Amino acid sequence: MTQANDPTLQSWVDVPEGSDFPIQNLPFGVYKMKDRSPRLASAIGDYVIDLFVLAKHGFFDDLDIDRKVFRQQYLNDFMALGRAKTGAVRNRLADILDTDLENWDASELKDFFLVPMSEVEMCLPVKVGDYTDFYSSIEHATNLGCLFRDPENALLPNWRHIPVGYHGRASSIIVSGTDIHRPKGQQMPAGADAPVFGPCKLLDFELEVAFVTCKPTNLGENVTTANAEDHIFGLALFNDWSARDIQKWEYVPLGPFLGKNFASTISPWIVTLDALEPFRVPGPVQEPAVLPYLQYEGTRNIDLKLSVEIVPEDGQGKVVSESNFKYMYWNMAQQLAHHTVNGCNLNVGDVYASGTISGKEKGSYGSMLEITWRGTEPVDMPDGSQRKFINDGDTVVMKGYCEKDGVRIGFGEASGKILPAT
């Protein structure tokens, strides 16, 4: 077992009941605050752990890591150290925060390296090079096939053979808490014979989980399902905002464009694949059998509970979806093997999103398009209003956590508020 994953570990830092950040999590992110430039951090309870302060005091000296790596605006240089070294940093943090200290008491230094989360601003954790969005939930792909094509042939013929995906836009990936103006664009209203221009009327979220790569490949090289996870640093929550009316008019024949690239919200903490090890579960049986390069061994899905809440301005929120990352038909190893099978190269800091994660039941759908069945079954909000899609002033909050053997590994949240179109 990875040392930091030991469920019996207890920290001398107070970790409130139900916290996303027990000693067994220790995710990585970047924070800044007044008079303190961006630097790398981890999290425990209600505190961020300043990794640069710990590095300056020599806590990582024997790990042979340049201290400058910890005073950066992004995690990229740290991630590029590779999973063995970053995993060693995580284990060292568990040592420092564990109550069973033998030789020294790090709690004497706590005022230097523990900062209340309420006092910091979390930054975009990764300088995103490329962003790829998959379409790997069979329930979501089936629902969309029913809504837009033919319920009898909802899945397109390629779907069970290829982890379908497309290249998204990296520049508009924003950290949780960043407001978004309602996008404008062309739409073709039903029955009209010419398009109109204006604010999107069908603004939607997409509940997704993204992974970030930490190990590059050369052009022409491919990764296998067996070694793909060496390239994966960790996971975050991801809201791939979608303008359905813009999307519907523009997407033929080349796929998503302005209906997608106006914003995607990522949570600030990257939860390491190491921390998620105890929560692996088998994925769905893939029928028919996939081609050899997509076959895999081991347990590759992750039991990660997900939720989406819509919070109106000055109003009470409502959870509109409870889903789970374990539903994914195609796993991350298959996605990376497919992504590189043609020789496409990977870089440190690339973001790969799962695609909307829907479960089988109505309460587990990952977009308003599915939840309200294209607006035909609106959601009742606590204030008496209804939602077919997302209104101006609404904040969409995505949360996620794994839980087993009394250990809860949380992801924080990916939230974003919709402001009126400019």
Q: Which residues bind Ca ion (CB under 5 A)?
A: 133, 206, 240
Nearest-angstrom CA–CA distance, 292 and 151:
30
Catalytic annotation, pick one of 140, 231, 338, 339: 140
Residue whose CB is nearest to Ca ion in the complex, by number: 240
Write down the least CB distance from residue 95 to Ca ion, Å.
Answer: 39
* Site of tokens 């519907």: 248
By C-beta, is 145 or 216 nearer to Ca ion? 145
**Is residue 140 flagged as an active site residue?**
yes
R_g of the chain, CA atoms, integer Å: 22
Nearer to Ca ion, 133 or 139 (CB): 133
DSSP notation for 238-264: EE--EEHHHHHHH-TTT--STTTTT-E
Quick one: 132 or 324, whose CB is closer to Ca ion? 132
The CB-of-367 to Ca ion minimum distance in angstroms stands at 9
Residue 288: asked if its preceding bond is cis (omega within 30°), the reply is: yes
Which tokens belong to 356? 């909307």
The pair of structure tokens assigned to 321 is 């979806």
Minimum Å gap between C-beta 137 and Ca ion is: 10
SS3 label, residue 236:
strand
Would you tell me how many other CB atoms lie within 10 Å of the CB of residue 341?
14
End-to-end CA distance of the chain: 52
**Rounded distance between C-alpha atoms, residue 156 and residue 150, angstroms:** 10
Q: Which 3 state secondary structure label does DSSP give 192?
A: coil
Say if residue 253 is preceded by a cis peptide, omega within 30 of 0.
yes
Smallest separation (angstroms) from Ca ion to the CB of 255: 11
Q: At closest approach, how far in Å is the CB of 353 from Ca ion?
A: 6
Match 């792909």 to its residue by tokens. Answer: 141
Q: Which residues are catalytic?
A: 140
